[in-house]
Amino acid sequence: MTVREKIPAELASRFVDVQNVSWEKTRYPGIEQKTLLIDRGTGLLTALMRMAPGAHLPDHEHVKIEQTYVLEGSLVCPEGECGAGQFVWRPAGSRHDAWAGPQGGLFLAIFQAPNKFFSADGRVTDFLGRDWEETWGQRPK
């Protein structure tokens, strides 16, 4: 029996051919993502994010820790700029907006739970525009 035969399917590694994963447009102009891993139960997400120069991610809160590794370009927020080859993580509860630098950016982003986005009309949504509380409020903490 080989090692492969001993591993139950639910415990097997998942290999992702990232080059062949399609870029998905988001509701934010100039921002696209490739979903590499998603757990729809908890909201855990690992994605490649691509932002055009100056593309803006509006006011949002990190419900749990967010981690971002900048592969190309830069990611800017009111606290500073994270350039290619640099890493930034944000604690749960941190809130800000962010935008791409003049060359745009390509990032590996890891979210433990979906961010809360705050609209001018008072709505709180997830990245896809769904009501945050209805979609994620009852999920495991």
Q: What is residue 93's three-state secondary structure?
A: coil
* pLDDT tens digits along 33-79: 999 999 888 889 999 999 999 999 999 999 999 999 999 999 999 99
Residue 6's pLDDT band, with cuts at 50, 70 and 90, is confident
- Answer yes or no: is 128 within a domain: yes
Q: Is residue 39 part of a domain?
A: no
Measure the CA–CA gap between 25 and 3, rounded to whole angstroms: 40
Residue 134 within a domain:
yes
Q: Pull the structure tokens for residue 94.
A: 């941190």
pTM (two decimals) = 0.87
Asked if residue 2 is part of any domain, the answer here is no
Q: What is the number of domains present in the chain?
A: 1
**Residue 121 falls within a domain, yes or no?**
yes
Does residue 92 fall inside a structural domain? yes
CATH assignment at residue 126: 2.60.120.10
CB 108, CB 82: distance < 8 Å: no
Beta bridge partners of 51: 31, 105
123: in domain: yes
Answer yes or no: is 114 within a domain: yes
Q: How far is CA 63 from CA 46, 73, 106, 135, in A?
A: 15, 26, 23, 14
Residue 70: give the domain boundaries: 49-141
